[in-house]
A and B are shown apart, each in its own frame.
Chain A
Amino acid sequence: MATQNTRALARLMMAPSVGLLLIWMIVPLTMTLWFSFQNYNLLNPGNVSFAGLFNYQYFYTDPAFFQSIWNTLLIVVGVLMITVIGGIAIALLLDQPMFGQGIVRIMIISPFFVMPPVAALVWKNMIMHPGYGVFADFSRALGLQPVDWFAQYPLFSIIIIVAWQWLPFATLILLTALQSLDGEQKEAAEMDGANFVNRFIYLTLPHLARSVTVVILIQTIFLLGVYAEILVTTNGGPGYASTNLPFLIYRTALLGYDVGGASAGGIIAVILANIVAIFLMRAVGKNLDR
Chain B
Amino acid sequence: MARAVSRRRTAIVTIAAWIVALIIFFPILYTIITSFKSETEAIQGFSLIPSGTIESYVAVQSQSNYFKPFMNSVILSIGSTLLALLVSVPAAWSMAFSPTKRTKDILMWMLSTKMMPAVAVLVPIYLIFRDTGLLDSRIGLTVMLTLINLPIVVWMLYTYFREIPGEILEAARMDGASLWGEIVYVLTPMAVPGIASTMLLNIILAWNEAFWTIRLTTTNAAPLTAFIASFSSPQGLFWAKLSAASTLAIAPILIMGWFSQKQLVRGLTFGAVK
Contacts and interface: CB of A to CB of B under 8 A. Distances in A.
Asked if A and B touch directly (CB within 8 angstroms), the answer is yes
Interface of A: 5-7, 9-14, 16-18, 20-21, 24-25, 27-29, 31-32, 35, 42, 90, 93-94, 96-119, 121-123, 125-127, 132, 134, 137-138, 164, 167-168, 172-173, 175-177, 179-182, 210, 214, 217-218, 221-222, 224-225, 227-228, 245-246, 249-250, 253-254, 259, 262-263, 265-267, 269-270, 273-274, 277, 281, 285, 288-289
A288 B108 CA distance: 11
User: Which of B34, B87, B128 gathers the greatest number of chain A CB atoms within 10 Å?
Assistant: B87
The dominant DSSP class at the B interface is: helix
Contacts of B20: 90, 93, 108
B59 interface: no
A277 B112 contact: yes
Contact of A11 (B18, B30, B94, B112): B94
A18 B66 CA distance: 37
A177 B272 contact: yes
Nearest to B47: A137
Contacts of A94: 17
A26 to B, nearest CB: 10
Interface of B: 9-10, 13-14, 16-18, 20-22, 24-28, 30-31, 34, 43-46, 87-88, 90-91, 93-95, 97-98, 104, 106, 108, 110-125, 127-128, 146-147, 150-152, 154-155, 159, 179, 204, 207-208, 210-211, 225, 228-229, 232-233, 239, 242-243, 246, 249-250, 253-254, 257-258, 261-262, 264-265, 267-274
Given A98-B17, A269-B120, A13 B94 contact: yes
A18 to B, nearest CB: 7
Contacts, number: 277
The dominant DSSP class at the A interface is: helix
B117 A227 contact: yes
A189 B271 CA distance: 23
